[in-house]
Structure 1
Amino acid sequence: LVFLVLSIFITYSQALFNGFFYDDRNLIVENPLVVNHKFLDIWKTDLFETTRGQSQYFRPMVVSLFALEYLISKDNSFFYHLTNIILHILCVLLVWKFSELIFDKLKINKIYAFFPAFLFALHPANSQSVYWIAARGDVLMTMGVIGGILSFRSRQKISYLFFPLAFLLAILSKEVGFLIFILIPLYLLFFREDITKKEIFIKSLILIPIIAVYFVIRFNIVKPGYVFNSEETFWLPEHGHFRRLMTVFPIWGYYLGRSFFPFYLNFESGLEMFSGIFRWQFLLGLVSVIVTIIGVILGRKNKLFKWSFMFYLICLAPVLNVFPIFESGMEHYLYLPLVAFCIFFGQLFKKNKSTILIFVIICIIFSVTIFIRGFAWRTEIEIWKDAAHKTAVYDRHGWIRSRVNLASAYISRGLHNNYQSEDIFKAESLYTEVQNQYPDYKGSNIGLGNIALIRGDYPAALDYISQAVRDHPGNYFLLNKLAYIYSAFGENEQAKQIILEVLQMKPDYDEAKANLAVIYFVEGNIEKSYRQFLNTEVTPRNYEVMEVLNILFSILQGQRLKKYQPQMLKAVDILTQTGLFRQKAQLLSFISSEIPNDSNILYSLSICYTLELNDPELGLYSFVQGIEKFPNDPRFYKGLGLLYLTLNDTVNSVSVFKQYLAKFPRDSSAVNISNFVKQWEENSN
């Protein structure tokens, strides 16, 4: 047991140093329900409602665990990855116990249950469920399903408590947890138990109110049919049902291939929608189905094989695209099916020393594969670059997603590195590539609009986001972004109307409420802005806007500012729009004292004193201070010279201009200032 646990920790050790990835951010660090510990509200919303918009997922157990972890570790990804590894270990132990139970029924020495457990622990296809925090739902659901089977067949009284708890863990972690209703009868069909009909009836009866409450809650939260309306789904209605059903063959081949040869791992499946019987993916899928049929015929008399195959098939059935699905295929969907796969193939290694040696070699290869795979999971950019490299253009779903998310990762890195133009250009290139390859994909406009916003190109941002709003009607995230752009144009009335429309759609949308408070402030309605501010909860997505508002109201109320914050520069812009120049000067003065080496701040303060407050005395003092602190910045010389001119002090003005010309003879204004000085000297003579 100790050796098994150590093997898992060593194999997955890289995960502990990885950050958040893709859905992790939406579900944890950007999720107001997690950050603000709103455990009750978690059970009232679907998985992505507070960060992306409506989804078809209801998994409160997963998000509740994230919220609990956030209480302890905040946004330290180390602890979330550690939890994933620990949960995987617990699941492996359940698989070990489950294997012992089945081996006991088949008169196989229970000591050999170690083989399936070790195989499951180190199977590379499971690595996505461990490396990716957001895929934790598969691990929790599998724990619930296996724990549910174990507790259902138990005759101990405590099982009447454990079984419904395991059932709840399964269905509240992932929807396919309902497969437990099929997997329990499947187990009882193949492996006789002493459990009585009465016990089966009572345990089944316990679930009725649980299921009733679950579906009432779910149907009130989840929008039916959402998945079929998404342009990002693998299958689109225009593909037709025939193409969808024919794609079942390559999807089955994908999962079978990942089960037996889990080495060419990829976040995306690389599968294309069926487009012809001579396409290589379809042919390989057809071969895999034929091989499966042959295997079933050959193993039809082996009880363990029949149970394992049925378990494997049942668990994969929801993701084979027999019914329309969002993904073409994902490695983490194999987590539950691999339980049966590993139990059957694990017991084959029990025969002699040679097979045990082969088992050891396979486990070492698996462990090394997982460890190496960890390098790709280090950063979002690395995993999406890996996916983009491995995903061909004919896989519309995966090809688009890998590039769009790689672009998003580049933008994120660019923002954290002072808007590095190289990263922003890479992102723009990827969005453009997607737009050119798949013109019907409408998400590119959102990405290009975000880039335009970063660059301050508001006309382009307005075009892109307006088109995105038309493409995604009713999307309150996009509408709120559109309102922000209008406010940047000074179209506050238009922005206000859009935000009020958003708040009618989603009254608790705090990001829109924060933006509305800013608009009220800019309009000069300070009291209304303050009330709106007090009525808005701080969330990860509106944190910066709320900080700006907090700074603004602190300045207005004469409160002492404590330390510099980047949001103060945005507050300066808003004070400028509002015409509160005295408060603007106060804020700029504070910022200048906190970051004294920034010449731009001191220059802005000098201009504020001179032009906006019409206070020449403070203006002179500020410009002189700028020349002393930043002697190589020509703006202070020009500003001081011009200020002297407005005060009719031509002598001092010319003196400053001469210093300027001596230091900056090639400056853009040097010619005009030189002509002025020469003209003054001629007139003086």
Structure 2
Amino acid sequence: MTGTGNDNASASPGLVNKVRQALAIYGQRQWLRCLLLVLFGAGVHVPALPGQLVWDDLYLARDNPFIKSPLLILEAFRHYLFPDSYAGHYRPVQNISYAFDYLFWNTETYGYHLSNVLWHVGSGILLYFLLREIFFSFGSRWSAESDGAVSPSLAARLSNTAFLFALLWVVHPVHSAAVDYISGRADSLAFFFACAGWLLFFQARKNPRSWLRAGLYVTAALSGLLALCSRESGFMWLLVFLLYTFCFDTKILLKGKLIVLAVCLMVAATYAGLRQLPESRPEIVAHSTTSAASRAVLMLRALGDYGRLMVFPSNLHMERSVSDPVPVGNREGWRSSIRLEYLSLAGAAVLAAFAFGAFRKGAGRNARIFGASWFLLAYLPISNLFPLNASVAEHWLYLPSVGFLIFLAGVIFELPARFRRGAFALACLAVLALSARSVVRSSDWIDPETFYQRTFLAGGSSCRVGVNLAMLYSKRGEYGQAEKILRKVLRVYPDYPVARNNLADVMFRQGKTSEAEAMFDSASRAAPEDRHEYPRTWVAALNYAHIRHKEKDDQTALAVMEKARKDYPGIWDLISFEAELLRENCGPAAALPVVQDFSRAHWWHAGASIALGRLHSEMGDNAQAEAAFRHASWLDVHDAEALNLMALLSMRQDKLEDACKTQRRAVARQPDQPRQYLLLSDILSKMGRADEARAVLAQVSVMKANR
């Protein structure tokens, strides 16, 4: 028995080693690692998938005219992201991505959220392969192999490190605003295309076929251009790529590096040329009176906050700030001030850690230098060195966080063998902890009310959050609660025009017409001065005109609208209401020139074409009306209003066959809308096809029964 026990004891370690080796070999398979990145990266964002539209989503994913038809893909390059504001965000690729979402998903927000997750997960997979290439290049310099090649054991360790850090990056909750927020997609788009371009460059160098190598280089440059057209952070990708190429890539000769630089400059010049396509307009210029010393403090605070978020992302929310709070003489104000000073110390500690890691000699020094340089380069534009619309933002870490992780990898490279298993276990625990935090953070985006309330509770009590929460209460008819929030916002920010406009609207809905009218009148007079600093200030004039119209004072309403149209050219909401006032008071012929001029200048606007067709139809010009409706039907692949109007126009002209064909197209676009079947049934009845009309009505009954 003793002999048998010894045999079992000696066999057990051998079996364990075999199992461990088998798992190690299996774990090196790339498809399995990619699958894990997909499962973890998608899994942590599941709570946000059924989420509703929040904040800028309402325009970008719902009202945005440039996403309604594939015919407008090229037109997206001729416009800024927000055409009716003075923000200079030029991101046509972001609009194009929403166009594909709209084509496949219509208004189903689940599809938009799913696309965000896929872009993020795709970026994580590309990051894994990019980190492998970068780590292998560092590893080849201190490999034991005489020819500089990476030994199999070292290659496995470097590959494992790349995978673990890509996994940490893909599940990190600090990226929530870039993934769970539909409007935050620009970060992952820029990351995906920039990372893909870098990998294509690596692949082109390895390819022996000259024609294929040239094609890969061209595709890499094109991918870099797409990154720039996705978000302005694409420029930081170019700088990081050039930094690596000139300072860390030893496989390229100086001539080759200069060619790479020339191509990057050509890509940047092409992007600069594309930015000239939109109509020139004054951009918001952030004027700052902050002294150099105060700006340095803000930079340290921001660095400290970003460092803390990377290591311990406990308090996550939109509308973060490291600026000095509005002075309040209470305990909470003192606590806020103390927290900010701690952030300054944390920022100094992060800088000291980077400096120490860069100067300390060792096998991982190059990785630490490159990681610190990556982080700081990507950090500078968001460091408060330049005035921005916020002092800090979590999603701004989307790119710098990679440099932070590379720096940590450089630290791990030098760990003695006896500590590696401990480091691996710690990394696995970090993945699980960050994943759990990401799941919780993802649930913040389930609906607007949850988002705004949790943002308030977490400390993001900005005026914008307050106004948006008040607007939600106002839409629900809770005007008292909305008024309370808006007045509180105005006590802290008395010159915030968006709060004044919304408060006036709430007062009007409560029947306090005279007070609301006075506020709207004052706001509309101040709007031209405020418009360069705040978006959509024209709403004050529009609301004031609506009040005058309701009070039967259309002459004043028209005067307000005419002035607003001159102050804010190209705003359809203003033009459409002015045209409606002209039509009611002077007939369709008076409204026609206003709508016609806008429609000619904005051929891509489906709503303007429909309004133009209605005016032509009212004037009896059926040919022009049909042309306008047909044009509108091309500009929105899911909307059926233009087709309905074409069908009704054909019915009035007794062209029943044409009306039937057009209405069937409307049914195909909106097969879940009973009203489309009702109109089709009416047309079939007029054509004498009673059996088909009854069959169509039966479909409506089935649809109503299933609801």
- TM-score, normalised by the number of residues in structure 2: 0.69
The yes-or-no answer on 1:361 pairing with 2:429 is: yes
The yes-or-no answer on 1:68 pairing with 2:100 is: yes
Q: Report the counterpart of residue 216 of structure 2 in structure 1.
A: 159
Q: Which runs of 5+ in 1 are unaligned?
A: 230-235, 393-397, 415-419, 559-566, 568-593, 595-685
2:455 to 375, 384, 387: 387
2:179 to 118, 125, 130: 130
Following the alignment from structure 2 to structure 1, what is the Cα–Cα distance between the partners of residues 326 and 509?
A: 40
1:465 to 513, 517, 520: 520
Following the alignment from structure 1 to structure 2, what is the Cα–Cα distance between the partners of residues 330 and 30?
A: 26
Following the alignment from structure 2 to structure 1, what is the Cα–Cα distance between the partners of residues 220 and 504?
A: 50
| 2:38 counterpart letter in structure 1 | V
> 1:128-147 deviations in whole A, cap 9, x for unaligned?
21101111111111223333
CA apart distance, 1:26: 1.9
1:551 and 1:14, CA in 2 relative to 1: closer, same or farther beyond 3 A?
Answer: farther
On the 8 A contact 1:96/1:114 being kept in 2, the answer is: yes
Following the alignment from structure 1 to structure 2, what is the Cα–Cα distance between the partners of residues 372 and 293?
A: 30
On the 8 A contact 1:56/1:222 being kept in 2, the answer is: no
1:33 to 66, 91, 102: 66
On the 8 A contact 2:366/2:410 being kept in 1, the answer is: no
Q: Report the counterpart of residue 137 of structure 2 in structure 1.
A: 105
CA apart distance, 1:347: 6.8
CA apart distance, 1:9: 2.0
Following the alignment from structure 1 to structure 2, what is the Cα–Cα distance between the partners of residues 102 and 170?
A: 20
Larger relative contact order (Cα-Cα within 8 Å, sequence gap ≥ 6): 2
**Could you say what secondary structure the match of 1:247 adopts?**
helix
Following the alignment from structure 2 to structure 1, what is the Cα–Cα distance between the partners of residues 605 and 539?
A: 11
Identity over aligned residues, as a percent?
21
On the 8 A contact 2:76/2:95 being kept in 1, the answer is: yes
On the 8 A contact 1:149/1:184 being kept in 2, the answer is: yes
Following the alignment from structure 2 to structure 1, what is the Cα–Cα distance between the partners of residues 216 and 278?
A: 31
Following the alignment from structure 2 to structure 1, what is the Cα–Cα distance between the partners of residues 613 and 370?
A: 62
The yes-or-no answer on 1:173 pairing with 2:206 is: no
The yes-or-no answer on 1:17 pairing with 2:50 is: yes
Higher Rg: 1
> 1:99-131 deviations in whole A, cap 9, x for unaligned?
101221122424212111111111111122110
Q: Report the counterpart of residue 323 of structure 1 in structure 2.
A: 386
Q: Report the counterpart of residue 86 of structure 1 in structure 2.
A: 118
1:356 and 1:173, CA in 2 relative to 1: closer, same or farther beyond 3 A?
Answer: same
Following the alignment from structure 1 to structure 2, what is the Cα–Cα distance between the partners of residues 469 and 374?
A: 39
| 1:122 counterpart letter in structure 2 | V
Q: Report the counterpart of residue 292 of structure 1 in structure 2.
A: 350
On the 8 A contact 2:178/2:188 being kept in 1, the answer is: yes
| 2:119 counterpart letter in structure 1 | L
CA apart distance, 1:163: 2.4
Following the alignment from structure 2 to structure 1, what is the Cα–Cα distance between the partners of residues 553 and 343?
A: 56
| 2:179 counterpart letter in structure 1 | V
Following the alignment from structure 2 to structure 1, what is the Cα–Cα distance between the partners of residues 596 and 326?
A: 56
> 1:463-489 deviations in whole A, cap 9, x for unaligned?
222222233316544433433333233
| 1:284 counterpart letter in structure 2 | Y
CA apart distance, 1:243: 3.1
Following the alignment from structure 1 to structure 2, what is the Cα–Cα distance between the partners of residues 556 and 456?
A: 41
CA apart distance, 1:275: 8.9
Tell me how many residue pairs correspond in the alignment: 541
The yes-or-no answer on 1:500 pairing with 2:562 is: yes
1:470 and 1:389, CA in 2 relative to 1: closer, same or farther beyond 3 A?
Answer: farther
Following the alignment from structure 2 to structure 1, what is the Cα–Cα distance between the partners of residues 474 and 606?
A: 19
Equivalent residue runs for 1:510-659 within 5 Å = 510-529=572-591
CA apart distance, 1:446: 1.4
1:333 to 391, 396, 402: 396
The yes-or-no answer on 1:449 pairing with 2:504 is: yes
Following the alignment from structure 2 to structure 1, what is the Cα–Cα distance between the partners of residues 77 and 260?
A: 25
1:202 and 1:270, CA in 2 relative to 1: closer, same or farther beyond 3 A?
Answer: closer
> 1:506-540 deviations in whole A, cap 9, x for unaligned?
55432223212211222142443467667776999
Following the alignment from structure 2 to structure 1, what is the Cα–Cα distance between the partners of residues 463 and 326?
A: 18
> 1:19-55 deviations in whole A, cap 9, x for unaligned?
11111112121222223553333222222124xx221
Q: Report the counterpart of residue 252 of structure 2 in structure 1.
A: 195
On the 8 A contact 1:124/1:263 being kept in 2, the answer is: no
The yes-or-no answer on 1:59 pairing with 2:91 is: yes
What is the aligned-residue RMSD (CA, Å)? Answer: 3.6
> 1:6-27 deviations in whole A, cap 9, x for unaligned?
1222211112111111111121
Following the alignment from structure 1 to structure 2, what is the Cα–Cα distance between the partners of residues 219 and 456?
A: 48
1:293 and 1:10, CA in 2 relative to 1: closer, same or farther beyond 3 A?
Answer: closer
Q: Which runs of 5+ in 2 are unaligned?
A: 1-33, 140-153, 206-212, 328-333, 414-418, 532-536, 623-640, 642-673, 675-707
CA apart distance, 1:189: 4.2
CA apart distance, 1:431: 0.7
